[in-house]
Amino acid sequence: MTGKRLAGAVFLAVAAGVVGLAWNSLRGSEAAGPVDSPTKPIRTVIVTGGHGFDQKAFPKLFEGHPDIVCEFKPQKDDSEIFEDVADWPYDVVVLYNMTQKISEKRRQNFLGLLDRGVGLVVLHHAVGAFQDWPEFEKIIGTRYYLKEMVVDGVTHPMCAYREGVDFTIHVEDPEHPITKGLADFQVRDEGYRKLPHAQDNHLLLSTDNAVSDKQIAWVRTYKNARVFCTVIGHGPQVFTSEPFRRIMARAIRWTAKRNVGRDDAAPTEAASGRTGHTGSSETKG
C-alpha cells in the first residue's frame, strides 16, 4: 500500500466512522422514544379494520393540528395492535375498527394501557367491535349489538342504524373542555338506535332526532384512562364538519391529558396538505 493510498484509506475509515456515529446516535434517539418536552406532539394511533369507510375523506377528520400526530393502523388480525405493548409509543388510541377477535392476552394488554392512563377515543362503528368481550362495553359505556344477545341475564335487542340523517347536534355540557364554547350544529351522518348507555356516562352531545338514540357523545373514566365515545362519524360530511373536527381534536387532547383548552383555526387549503398523519392506507374492506 502506498502512502497516498494509506492516507486515502485512513480518510475513508474516519469518514465511515463519523457517518456510523451519526447513524448510531440517530438510531439511538429513535430507540429511546420521543423526548419528553412540553412541545412534543400527542402521538395518536387510529385503529381500523372490520368495517368499510371513506378512506380518502377520513383523514380530514384529524388534519390541521400541529400538536397531534396520527398513525393509521389497519388490523389484519382483528386486534394485533394489542399483541405486544411493552414499547407502546402512543398517548391516545382512536378506535375506528369493528373487528371482533381479541385474545385474552390482547384484552389484558388493552386493559394494561388503560391502567397506564393511555387515552381512548371511540368513534362510530367501533361501538360494534369485540362483541364477545363483555368488559369492552364497560370500558366505552355502550355497545352496538349486532344481534340480540343475553349478557348477565339481560336481553339486549339487536341495534339499528339509518344512513343520511340530518342531525341537529345539541351541546349538553357547554362547560366541559371538549365542548366548551361550542354552539349546537347541524351535520348529516348515520344514526344508531337501541344501544344501552351506562348510567355513569357524562353526556356531552345529544340529538332529538327520533332515528337515533338521544346520546351522541359522552365521556367517562376507566381505570386511569379518560374515555371519549361518539356514535356519529360515518362519512365525509362529518369528517369535514368544523365543529366535529374541533370536538375530535379536543377529545384527543382531553383523553391524552395534554394541551387541554388548545384550539386551532380551521385549516386553509394550503395548510391542509402538510398535516401530520403518517402510516399505511387501508384497502377497502
| 190 near Zn ion, rule: CB under 5 A | yes
Count CB atoms within 10 A of the CB of residue 22: 10
Applying CB under 5 A, the span of 101-109, 137-145, 189-197, 212-220 interacting with Zn ion comes to 189-197
Using the contact rule CB under 5 A, the part of the chain among 125-133, 134-142, 218-226, 240-248 near Zn ion is 125-133
Amino acid at 267: P
Q: Transcribe 26-84 into DSSP letters.
A: HHHHHHT-S---TTS-EEEEEEEESS---TTTGGGGG-S-TTEEEEEEE-SSSSGGGS-
Phi-psi region of 239 (alpha: psi -120 to 50; beta: other; left: phi over 0): alpha
What is the C-alpha separation between 158 and 16, in angstroms, rounded?
65
Site for Zn ion in 132-151 (CB under 5 A): none
Stretch that binds Zn ion, among 149-157, 190-198, 224-232, 240-248 (CB under 5 A): 190-198
Q: Could you say whether residue 258 binds Zn ion (CB under 5 A)?
A: no
CB of 116 to Zn ion, least distance (A): 30
Whether 229 and 124 have beta carbons less than 8 Å apart is answered as: no
Which 46-85 residues touch Zn ion, going by CB under 5 A? none
Dihedral angle at the C-alpha atoms of 233, 235, 236, 238, nearest 10 degrees?
-30
| Other Cβ atoms within 10 Å of 7 Cβ, number | 10
Q: With respect to Zn ion, which residue has the nearer C-beta, 78 or 190?
A: 190
- Shortest distance (Å) from residue 124 CB to Zn ion: 6
Candidate residues 65, 73, 226, 234; the one interacting with Zn ion per rule CB under 5 A:
234
Min dist. Cβ of residue 251 to Zn ion (A): 18
Asked if 263 and 64 touch (Cβ cutoff 8 Å), the reply is no
Q: Using the rule CB under 5 A, give the single segment among 38-46, 182-190, 256-264, 277-285 that binds Zn ion.
A: 182-190
Output the smallest distance, CB 164 to Zn ion, in A: 11
| Least distance in angstroms from the C-beta of 230 to Zn ion | 12
Residue 250 makes contact with Zn ion by CB under 5 A: no
233 part of the interface to Zn ion, by CB under 5 A? no
As measured in angstroms, the least distance from the Cβ of 231 to Zn ion is: 9
User: Is the Cα dihedral 10, 11, 13, 18 positive or negative?
Assistant: positive
**Is residue 189 a contact residue for Zn ion (CB under 5 A)?**
no
**Positions in the binding site for Zn ion (CB under 5 A):** 125, 190, 234
